[in-house]
Amino acid sequence: MRMLFDFRCSEGHVTEHFTTKDTSEVSCLICGKAANRIISPVRSVLDPISGDFLGATRKWAKHREQQIKKERKEEYQ
């Protein structure tokens, strides 16, 4: 089964390749040098509304408060 993996060469280029999970080295698509498979970075988004993640909730509340102030200011102009 083929999957999409990230590979980085010695020049620092990061490219994606559609390969089998056993493949650990491929040619870089940019410079042609050997590129090794790397662990792909994972981006996670915390649910700010639930309150389970205090930092995300505070950030969301601050942004919402600023947005409401902006909308009210535009409403009265």
Q: Which of 35, 57, 38 is nearest to 46 (CA)?
A: 57
Whether residues 53 and 74 share a domain: the answer is yes
Whether residues 31 and 60 share a domain: the answer is no
Whether residues 55 and 30 share a domain: the answer is no
Q: Each residue of 22-47: pLDDT tens digit?
A: 999 999 999 999 999 999 877 777 78
Q: What is the pLDDT of residue 32?
A: 92
**What are 4's strand-pairing partners?**
18
Whether residues 9 and 33 share a domain: the answer is yes
Q: State the sign of the Cα–Cα–Cα–Cα dihedral 8, 11, 12, 16.
A: negative
Q: What is the pTM of this model?
A: 0.54
Whether residues 76 and 52 share a domain: the answer is yes
> In terms of residue numbers, what domain contains 25?
2-38
Number of domains in the chain: 2
Whether residues 34 and 55 share a domain: the answer is no
Whether residues 31 and 7 share a domain: the answer is yes
Are 36 and 8 within 8 A, CB to CB?
yes
